[in-house]
Amino acid sequence: MMIAHRMSKIDSSGIRKVFDLAQKMQNPVNLSIGQPDFDVPEEIKTEAIKAIQDGSNKYTVTQGIPELRNNLLKRLQSERGVNAESIIITSGVSGALTLAFLVLINPEDEILIPDPAFVSYKHFANFCGGKAVFIDTYPDFKLTAARIQPHITKKTTILVINSPANPTGVMSTTQELKDIADLARRHNLLIISDEIYHDYDYNREFDSIGRYYEKTLILDGFSKSFAMTGWRMGYAAGPANIINEMIKLQQYTFVCAPSPAQYAVAKSLDTDMSKYIATYKKKRDLMYDGLKDRYHVVKPGGAFYLFPQVPWGADEEFVASAIQKNLLIIPGSVFSEHHTHFRISYAASEETIRRGIDILNSLAKQ
């Protein structure tokens, strides 16, 4: 059977390849996968179990249960200063991203994407018939209006922002966001702001561009904040005309986000996760301080990644050597058009982080 031509626009995920490899290795030092190493808090598990036992196992309305949507809209306004017109609960942020790109991108539209950036952005832009246009942010990984401006053409429709960022952990400052908002307003761009890592903000610097620009579609969720990556709980909030089309498309695709998870999260939004975030700041410092003398690395302000420059060779060659030493990391070219860096996830135990540091420092000496 012939495979649809659109599938040629998508490569197999380099992250998932390493994930599969990890299943075959004996006790690897795994610093590859971006998921918290703590479990879902007990009080949230209890709410999920109760929802299942109470019979909340059927379809919900496509856009998500009202109590969760209403509470999230209020929180966006009170905590981020974002007055979103509407909201949809999705099957993870990946579900939100899929719906948004399918709804918004026409053939030949140009989508501005930072380089480096989360792997799905460029693949879904290409899958939808658009053209991914990369904004080089090396060496400091800062997305700025000055770097964006030269890439804007008459075909540019969307700018993607991710702060705190995967794979670098770099965060946009308030002034940078205001400058980008002014630029987007002059060119009538839609901004898609992926804010899934907003809770992992180690210096209390997080700000949302949705506060400064009304044509912003915010994507967020609970996979990272509540460590529920397998629950598939996300949302998109922004202009009503866009959300309405996403709801329409969700009717024929995901149908709705998982029902018990919606009810559990709706009753758990006040769960205090600060103690977990504090441990991740400690892990960030441990990893950064352990590598900074032998690697060129930008200290991240958020998320749980570092993106060091390889000390020798290309990224694939360096990562292959790391894997031979039982260390799992991700080549930077999975996220970038460059072959000069690699991604570390410090969402791991301190013991694992220390073992990883030792292996990486030994590799740097080669």
Reading the chain (366 residues) residue by residue, the pLDDT tens digits are: 688 888 877 776 555 566 566 566 678 999 998 899 999 999 999 999 999 999 999 999 999 999 999 999 999 999 999 999 999 999 999 999 999 999 999 999 999 999 999 999 999 999 999 999 999 999 999 999 999 999 999 999 999 999 999 999 999 999 999 999 999 999 999 999 999 999 999 999 899 999 999 999 999 999 999 999 999 999 999 999 999 999 999 999 999 999 999 999 999 999 999 999 999 999 999 999 999 999 999 999 999 999 999 999 999 999 999 999 999 999 999 999 999 999 999 999 999 999 999 999 999 987
In DSSP terms, 113 is beta-bridged to: 134
pLDDT of 22: 57
Count CB atoms within 10 A of the CB of residue 278. 11
In this structure, which CATH number among 3.90.1150.10, 3.90.79.10, 3.30.470.10, 3.40.640.10 belongs to the domain 57-266? 3.40.640.10
User: CA distances (Å), 156 to each of 241, 352, 360, in order?
Assistant: 20, 43, 41
**Secondary structure of 133-148 as H, E, C letters:** EEEECCCCCCCCHHHH
In whole angstroms, give the CA distance from residue 35 to residue 144.
28
pLDDT of 95: 96
pLDDT of 33: 87
pLDDT of 17: 63
pLDDT of 26: 76
In whole angstroms, give the CA distance from residue 267 to residue 189.
36
- Report the interhelical angle of 259-266 vs 42-53 (nearest 10°): 130
Tokens for 278, please give them: 């504090």
Decide: 34 and 166 in contact? Cβ < 8 Å.
Answer: yes
- Report the interhelical angle of 92-104 vs 119-127 (nearest 10°): 30
pLDDT of 220: 98
**Residue entry with tokens 């990562």:** 319
Burial class of residue 204 (count of CB atoms within 10 Å of its CB; 0-12, 13-18, 19+):
exposed
Decide: 308 and 68 in contact? Cβ < 8 Å.
Answer: no
**Residue entry with tokens 């039982």:** 326
3-state secondary structure of 188: coil
Strands (E), 187-263: 190-194, 216-221, 234-238
Domain ranges within the chain, ordered by starting residue: 5-40+273-364, 57-266
pLDDT of 27: 84
Count CB atoms within 10 A of the CB of residue 256. 20
**Residue entry with tokens 């901004």:** 191
User: CA distances (Å), 347 to each of 41, 81, 95, 280, 333, in order?
Assistant: 16, 29, 23, 7, 21
pLDDT of 8: 79
- Topology given in CATH for the domain delimited by 5-40+273-364: Aspartate Aminotransferase, domain 1 (3.90.1150)
Tell me whether the omega of the peptide bond preceding residue 258 falls within 30 degrees of 0, making it cis: no
pLDDT of 16: 54
Q: Phi/psi of residue 218, each to 5°?
A: -90, 130
Decide: 105 and 158 in contact? Cβ < 8 Å.
Answer: yes
In whole angstroms, give the CA distance from residue 69 to residue 87.
6
pLDDT of 3: 85
pTM comes to 0.94
Tokens for 216, please give them: 């912003």
In whole angstroms, give the CA distance from residue 27 to residue 252.
42
pLDDT of 4: 83
Q: What is the CA radius of gyration of the chain?
A: 20
